[in-house]
Amino acid sequence: MNLNLHVWRQSGPQDKGRMEQIQATGISADMSFLEMLDKVNEDLIAAGQEPIAFDHDCREGICGTCSLMINGVAHGPDGATTTCQLHMRSFQDGDAIYMEPWRARAFPVIRDLMVDRSSFDRIVEAGGYVSVNAGAAPDAHANLIPKAEADLAMDAAACIGCGACVASCPNGSAMLFVAAKIGHLAHLPQGQPERARRARAMVAQMDVEGFGACSNHFECEAVCPKEIPVRFIAEMNRDFLKASLCGQE
């Protein structure tokens, strides 16, 4: 198939960006979206032109680096899918496809479709560590955890930090990401000693990084490739308010 690509091109963080029209030819419906970009870049290089800069790593929907807005939707038209898992069979021959980087003040553009998401790393760092004794691995049944709580912890732990929630939110909020990271440990006994301090520290760092507030648009849940529910935001707000009002550390 042949496609009419409209790609955001930006040489650097301080440079002015623009949409550039590029023709993609000879694209197989079985290609992933990133494989399509590889083919386009090969053609651009062969023609002596600058290739499109985009982020990727695992290409298995694990790392979250394949962060693209495709036709205005984070990770593209397919639900519960990262960009690397999106295949060209989701498009038709002759389609116009618009590709942009994440749009958020806290995610400055590095180049073209690549953004700096190190703000997420700093939020996680603010959460600190769990105070558990190091040593040999404990027996699997040493800490009894109800299945419902273990399932919720695993649901939160599924977050890959891709930033789709931020890119889709009209406020540029990182609440779903932060809530998932807090909720993961909040549903496990190992996370209880620092639970209050963790909630306060991570929310404070989120504000420092310049993310917006949540106003319940639920766009974050709709585009999350791991389908993390917004219930974790409510839990995070509860923990944060409780820690703040009670002066817990």
pLDDT digits (tens, 9 = 90+) for 75-122: 999 999 999 999 999 999 999 999 999 999 999 999 999 999 999 999
Which of 95, 110, 125 is the last residue before a domain boundary?
110
Side chain identity at residue 95, one-letter code: D
**168 within 8 A of 76, measured Cβ to Cβ:** no
CA 85 to chain centre: 14
Which of 110, 144, 179 is the last residue before a domain boundary?
110
Q: Structural domain tally of the chain?
A: 2
Instruction: Output the pLDDT for position 138.
Output: 72
Q: Which residues of the chain carry a pLDDT beneath 50? A: none
- State which residues form the domain around 175: 117-246
Instruction: Output the pLDDT for position 134.
Output: 61
Which of 57, 78, 110 is the last residue before a domain boundary?
110
Residues 172 and 101 in one domain: no
Residues 106 and 127 in one domain: no
Residues 14 and 121 in one domain: no
> How would you class 124 by CB atoms within 10 Å of its CB: exposed for 0-12, middle for 13-18, buried for 19 or more?
middle
Instruction: Output the pLDDT for position 249.
Output: 57
